[in-house]
Structure 1
Amino acid sequence: MLTFNGFTLKKDEDQTDVWTRKIREYGYSHSDEMDTEIIRGLVRGYFNSAALKAQADAQQDQLTHQEAPNEFSEAWELYHQTLAVDDEVILDMMFRGARDGIQTITPGNMNSAIVFLRRYGRSQQASELVRQYVSARAPASGFFGDSLLFFDGERDQELVAAYEKFRTSQVDLRDPVQVLSKIVEHQGYNPEDVALVAKLDADNLEKMFLNYRGPRLKNIVEWVARFSREDSAQGRVLQHNLRSACERIAELSPMRATRLRLWTENDQAAGSVAAGEKEKHRPAGRREQIRRRRIHRNAPQLGFLRRQLRRGGRPKR
């Protein structure tokens, strides 16, 4: 569903696939940014409310401007629906439409237009759109980078690099604790929030966990652990730093080790934070082995009791 695009299916692809047919029967042509965010929420088990709202606002802006003449959409229609129009006409309309729609065209659609222009020899115009789009949209739109960097189709590398350059040049002066507290409260975040938390080294994570006092401590640790599971470079860095911070705190006392183990037990990044409790808390595998041995040892008695109960008798004490 994330990558399905009914417009780009090739003739030599297997059209008998049951899921492809089913999707097409429903009239589902392709996944836009809003669809992609919803599907990702279903996959990970929770929704990013901030990202969903940003996508909804963007679609509302698009709907607001739909009544005006739209050369961008007309160019795509000409490309897909007729062979009678010359390439130069379509390319001119695509560039003008994309330039005029800087404020309303979604990142995925703009990326497609830029890739399209480069493919047919309009690299200079494509680069001009990159500069205008990043300048206009990146500062005010938190969803811009998330939508583009997780776009599943062909990505224009100049557009990706331009946004990344803008993002890394920004200095985020927000307090990580306040950011995490808002994430806990609203159950939503944006890429800038994740980037801020991912920049915390092991010393800062340790200091943050030890100095924080309040009912949200457990949730804050859990959200940091969740971000560390992100399959990205910043996620792997955070994973390493989180493991180091948790191991240091766990060494202070068994109670601290227990709580961190419980709060990060679904996260491999925290590692074995309960190292000080290995003797008190056997690994789950060891407990399971002991349980099975007990069942095996008591099997004859259990079998006798079951037979007695099936016969309606009362087992002797």
Structure 2
Amino acid sequence: MSVEIIKDQIFHFLASDKPEIMAIKGEWGVGKTFSWKKFLIEAKSNNQIKLDRYSYVSLFGINSLEAFKYAIFENVVKREIIDTEANIATFRRNTIGLMESFGRRSLNVLKGSPLAESFSPAIEAISFLSLNSTIICIDDLERKGNGLEIKDVLGLASLLKEQKKCKVVFLLNDGEDGLQDYEKYREKVIDIELAFSPNPDECAFIAYADDASLHSKLGDLTASLGIRNIRILKKIERLVLLSLPLLKDFEPEITDQVIHSLVLYSWSYFCSGSNENIPPLDFITSKGYAWLGIGEEKPDENEKKWLTTLESYGYRLTDELDLLLAEAIKTGYFVEDEFRKKASINNEYIIASKSEGSFSEAWRLYHDTFNDNGDEVVNRLYQSFKENCKYITPTNLNGTVSLFRELDENEKASEIIDIYIERRKEETNLFNMKEINFFGDVRDPEIVEKFNATYMQSITVETAKSVLDRIAGKNGWNPNDEVVLANTSVDEYYDLFKSEVGRHLSSFVTACLKFGQSSNASDQQKEIAIRAKAALIIIAKESVINKIRVKKFGVNLENE
């Protein structure tokens, strides 16, 4: 049943004062409660609600019929404030109205003392008597407490209709366990039963109708993945709204990427656990050139299905900005500085890509045709690579090199590696394989070897002394610091410790030895401590006093 038909039926129901009971059934999460409240508010705005009072009650955790009756009473609001949740003020008005019906003396007692003290079991007992001509929405029937029977809820609904002239609405999750009594008695109780089964386009419209610009961008994407769960759609909307202020200084393509990825990642993260046809988030974020048919890696049958889904959605590669977006799906927030930094890098690439002969356009010759155009692909990529080298990631470099090698263009493959390193040699961390190889996509042996050599050459310009000057006495250091210290020889540590005079000496020695004291120290960290200790042992052998000095650092010299 379409949403428009559901809406018309609800409007017709609300516009009449005829006592009747309606049930709205649908899958969990498709927006029954969301839509009911939305249509109710719209009907109120259009003056299409006949009855004067409304009460919404969730049966979640309600364990008795008396508690249910009282919950209806305490949640009653006037038609004029139907879009306001019941609160202590509305409850006070309901209670005062109830006491007025039992005489001015009772009213004076209530007004003259705190509400909690005035409240009595008598009010609870008589509150149900005031429920006349009220619209009552009963939600979460399948989540009621164990002490409340569905047949009793349906019986009370019939009483409210027949004796209290009320209009009752049930919101039900179709197919849930525990609704056998509803199915058994519904023909005797329910006057109208609506099947709420919106398609993905309708769900997107329900979730995003308040913002046309978001609906146009988000609706098409969420519908293409078949997302019908309103909660997930609203989670996506929330993250998109959080991201937009961070994207205002960037090219529109960055906003498109963020929205495109957030929709896909949300669908994957929240839905893949219950549907094996939906690719897991870890699979999506590890998607690199190996999944484009380049390289030796072969997907299994499940992965082939997932790759077809991702290709249909228009998702090809994961970059560093995407990784931050995936993390935001899990945490619910963005690390703003990191977000802007990664978005800025992508933005520079977008600007460069808009120029004629851009690298991304060159790759279109590979993606968008089955023509026998290998030479053209290689030549365009080769020329464009040299022009756009500044904006190309190591992953993209590896993908291009791999393609060149498969097309027997090894010479050009080696050449673009050298061009890349020469043009970007000042960006030291770009060549740190531990940092850049997120997905294991940088696997070409020549790239790995040359990157490692470039990185080692770049960071070893700094001396062990300058590193220790920065980190001695502190708890933090960066990976570059470890590499410098691990590549400092025993003789260099000897010279450093012997030449250093003053208070820094002890902190230098302690800093080096601490690297090996952690129970989970890496091999690189252990190497720092081993070399520093070896230098200290040499120093200890030079004189009795130096032997004593070295021992104070906890170096055991007895077996040396």
TM-score (norm 1): 0.54
Q: Could you tell me which of 212, 216, 222 is aligned with 2:504?
A: 212
Equivalent residue runs for 1:6-45 within 5 Å:
7-8=291-292, 13-15=300-302, 29-33=316-320
Q: Which amino acid aligns with 1:133?
A: Y
Q: Which amino acid aligns with 2:451?
A: Y
Aligned to 1:195: 483
| Long gaps (5+) in structure 1 | 41-50, 258-272, 277-317
Is it true that 1:3 corresponds to 2:294 in the alignment? Answer: no
**8 Å contact kept, 1:54–1:143:** no
Q: Which amino acid aligns with 2:430?
A: F
Is it true that 1:144 corresponds to 2:433 in the alignment? Answer: no
**Per-residue deviation at 1:56?**
6.3
Larger strand fraction of residues? 2
Question: For 1:225-282, what per-residue CA distance to the aligned partner results, in whole angstroms no more than 9, with x for missing partners?
Answer: 67x9346xx45633643676899999724xx55xxxxxxxxxxxxxxx8999xxxxxx
Is it true that 1:92 corresponds to 2:384 in the alignment? Answer: no
Aligned to 2:467: 176
**Per-residue deviation at 1:88?**
1.8
Is it true that 1:160 corresponds to 2:451 in the alignment? Answer: no
Q: Which has the larger radius of gyration?
A: 2
Is it true that 1:106 corresponds to 2:398 in the alignment? Answer: no
**Per-residue deviation at 1:169?**
4.5
Closer/same/farther in 2, CA of residues 94 and 25 from structure 1, 3 Å limit: closer
Is it true that 1:229 corresponds to 2:521 in the alignment? Answer: yes
Q: Could you tell me which of 358, 368, 377 is aligned with 1:71?
A: 358
Closer/same/farther in 2, CA of residues 218 and 240 from structure 1, 3 Å limit: closer
Distance across 1 between alignment mates of 2:314 and 2:536:
50
Question: For 1:74-109, what per-residue CA distance to the aligned partner results, in whole angstroms no more than 9, with x for missing partners?
Answer: 232332332136222222211112111122211221
**Per-residue deviation at 1:180?**
2.5
Question: For 1:155-195, what per-residue CA distance to the aligned partner results, in whole angstroms no more than 9, with x for missing partners?
Answer: 222233333444445552441213426985xx563x54332
Distance across 1 between alignment mates of 2:383 and 2:344:
24
Q: Which amino acid aligns with 2:450?
A: A
**Per-residue deviation at 1:141?**
0.1
**8 Å contact kept, 2:366–2:377:** yes
Q: Provide the secondary structure at the position in 1 that maps to 2:389.
A: coil
Q: Which amino acid aligns with 2:446?
A: E
Distance across 2 between alignment mates of 1:167 and 1:144:
8
Aligned to 1:264: none
| Long gaps (5+) in structure 2 | 1-281, 328-337, 541-547
Equivalent residue runs for 1:223-262 within 5 Å:
229-230=521-522, 234=524, 237-238=527-528, 240-241=530-531, 252-253=551-552, 257=554
Let me know the Cα RMSD of the aligned residues.
5.3
**8 Å contact kept, 1:229–1:235:** yes
Aligned to 1:286: none
Closer/same/farther in 2, CA of residues 246 and 19 from structure 1, 3 Å limit: farther
TM-score (norm 2): 0.34
Closer/same/farther in 2, CA of residues 111 and 179 from structure 1, 3 Å limit: farther
Closer/same/farther in 2, CA of residues 11 and 164 from structure 1, 3 Å limit: closer
Q: Which amino acid aligns with 1:177?
A: L
**Per-residue deviation at 1:33?**
4.6
**Per-residue deviation at 1:144?**
1.7
Distance across 2 between alignment mates of 1:154 and 1:198:
24
